[in-house]
Amino acid sequence: MTLLAPTLQAFFTTRLIGQVGASPHTIAAYRDTWRLLLRYVVATTGTPAHTIDIAQLDADLIGAFLNHLQDQRGNSIATRNARLAAVHSLFTYAAIQHLNTPHRSREYWPSRPSGASAAPTSPT
């Protein structure tokens, strides 16, 4: 088993529910983001969902996923950026939880895809 599944589970139960007290809407939005992302990874790489590793989720793959959301699914830039915030949130949590992971390096943990905003934008 890879680190992704237990990290996702701990992120939702420990971080979002236990520590942050996130609203049910936030939890559902983050859940939906990760469902979409994992389905995208399975469809584009052929990797079975249970074998997806955190290291596979690099900046190029996340960027392609975000483009897919906007181009194929018709998501707005605001929705795209909200999905990016959900991805960043998990990776921030994972980086702290896995400080002693042997593979922890700049290459292991994805950076922001080029052209992506740091935070969701609000409608004006």
Which one has a higher pLDDT value, 1 or 88?
88
pLDDT score recorded for residue 101: 54
Q: Is the pTM of this model over 0.85?
A: no
Write the DSSP string, the chain.
--SHHHHHHHIIIIIIIIII---HHHHHHHHHHHHHHHHHHHHHH---GGG--GGG--HHHHHHHHHHHHHTS---HHHHHHHHHHHHHHHHHHHHHTTT-TT-STTTS--PPTT--SSPPPP-
Domains of the chain in start order, with CATH, are: 4-97 (1.10.150)
pLDDT score recorded for residue 47: 94
